[in-house]
């Protein structure tokens, strides 16, 4: 699905809006914009010891020095927007300062940053709010789904049901992304089953953001007015199997 669009498909979409620019917070404004390249070069600036609670994150997600696992800046910008809207701009500044991300919280729409910055930002927000990292990622998934539906309705209008939309992620949405970014690191969603009772999806990604994918699926269901229950099952391989069970219709978002 769109992290389905999250880490790739959204990039193509946002470029079309003609909103380049850089997202700067008061704290981050004191840093040079060039610091954003640190994430691309592999520089890892870890938070000071004892500042964050990483216990909710898998070890594999916390050890983010490995090369690759790039995320487009537009995804970070959307995350910061969600934090401002759901909490406050002041809390967003505190989160960035606590996380001590290499970019300093300054992201361009088309820039590329290490996914570990998202891990650090969500970890900082969890510490500040008391909410768990999985809950925050699911909330971000809801936010992204609503934003994509509002800004790029054609992707949703092309499919009459949420199940049709989910089934088109790899074959349609990600195919469009690869035309713009041939080397994009996109997640994969394989449909194992689709019938009147629901759908079974398998999510594969080197970023291991299954909670975000969970939220995106729920957000798409809300957009289509479809009542579903989403049951994730993590696999030893790092993939996640989602059982999406169909229930009665609800009022569309």
**Tokens at residue 138, please?**
């699911």
Query: Using an 8 Å Cβ cutoff, are 193 and 200 in contact?
Result: yes
Nearest Cα neighbor of 122 from 68, 86, 147 is 86
| pTM for this prediction | 0.71
Strands (E), the chain: 22-23, 70-72, 107-108, 112-114, 188-195, 198-204, 226-234, 240-249
Q: What is the domain partition of the chain in residue ranges? A: 5-135, 162-249
C-alpha to C-alpha distance for 109 and 18, rounded to whole angstroms? 10
Under CATH, domain 162-249 is a member of which superfamily?
A: H-NOX domain (3.90.1520.10)
**Tokens at residue 102, please?**
């290499």
Which pLDDT band holds residue 223 (cuts at 50, 70, 90)? very high
Render pLDDT for 173-209 as a digit per residue (tens, 0 to 9): 777 767 766 666 777 888 899 888 899 999 888 788 8
Q: Which residues contact 29 (CB under 8 A, 6 or more apart)?
A: 106
Render pLDDT for 26-60 as a digit per residue (tens, 0 to 9): 444 433 333 333 333 333 333 333 344 444 444 33
> Which range scores top for mean pLDDT: 68-77, 108-117, 220-229?
220-229
């Amino acid at each position: 699905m769109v992290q389905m669009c999250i880490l790739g498909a959204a990039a193509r979409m946002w470029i079309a809006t003609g909103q380049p620019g850089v997202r700067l917070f008061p704290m981050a404004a004191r840093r040079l914009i060039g610091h954003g390249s640190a994430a691309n070069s592999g520089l890892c600036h870890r938070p000071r010891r004892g500042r964050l609670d990483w216990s909710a994150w898998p070890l594999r997600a916390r050890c983010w020095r490995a090369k690759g696992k790039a995320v487009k800046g537009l995804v970070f910008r959307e995350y910061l927007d969600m934090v401002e809207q759901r909490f406050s701009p002041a809390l967003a500044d505190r989160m960035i300062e606590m996380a001590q991300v290499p970019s300093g919280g300054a992201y361009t729409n088309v820039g590329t940053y290490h996914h570990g910055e998202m891990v650090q930002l969500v970890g900082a927000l969890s510490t500040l709010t008391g909410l768990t990292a999985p809950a925050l990622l699911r909330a971000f998934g809801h936010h992204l789904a609503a934003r994509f539906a509002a800004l790029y309705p054609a992707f949703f209008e092309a499919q009459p049901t949420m199940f049709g939309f989910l089934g088109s992620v790899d074959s349609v949405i990600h195919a469009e992304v690869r035309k713009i970014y041939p080397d994009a690191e996109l997640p994969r969603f394989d449909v194992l089953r689709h019938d009147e009772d629901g759908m079974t999806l398998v999510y594969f990604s080197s970023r291991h953001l299954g909670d975000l994918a969970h939220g995106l699926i729920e957000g798409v269901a809300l957009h289509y007015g479809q009542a579903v229950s989403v049951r994730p099952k993590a696999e030893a391989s790092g993939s996640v199997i989602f059982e999406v069970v169909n229930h009665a219709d609800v009022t569309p978002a």
